Copies of this chain bind each other. A is one copy, B any other.
Amino acid sequence: MRAFLVVGNRTTTAPFNLNDLPGAGRMDVLCRCVAQALFISHGIRKDVEVYLVLLGEPDPPKTILIRGSEVRYMAPDERNIAGIIRKALGVKAGKEWRKSSPGVYVARRCLTEVLDSTSCKIVYLREDGEDIRCIAPDLENCLFVLGDHLGLAENDENEVLKRAWRVVRVAPISLQADQCIVVVHSELDRVRFDRVSRP
Contact = CB atoms under 8 A, between A and B. Distances in A.
Nearest to A26: B77
Nearest to A191: B172
A158 interface: no
A22 B189 contact: no
Given A41-B174, A172-B189, A182-B182, A79 B79 contact: yes
Interface in A145-178: 149, 170-176
Contacts of A183: 182-183, 186
A19 B20 CA distance: 11
A190 interface: yes
Contacts of A101: none
A36 interface: yes
B22 A75 contact: yes
A149 B42 contact: yes
Copies of this chain assembled into the complex? 2
Contacts of A171: 186, 189-190
Contacts of A175: 40-41
Interface in A18-45: 18-19, 21-22, 28, 32, 35-36, 39-42
A28 B77 contact: yes
A66 B179 CA distance: 20
Contact of A21 (B32, B79, B173): B79
21 contacts: A18-B19, A19-B79, A21-B77, A21-B79, A22-B75, A22-B77, A22-B80, A36-B182, A40-B175, A40-B179, A41-B174, A41-B176, A77-B78, A170-B186, A172-B192, A173-B189, A179-B182, A179-B186, A182-B183, A183-B183, A183-B186
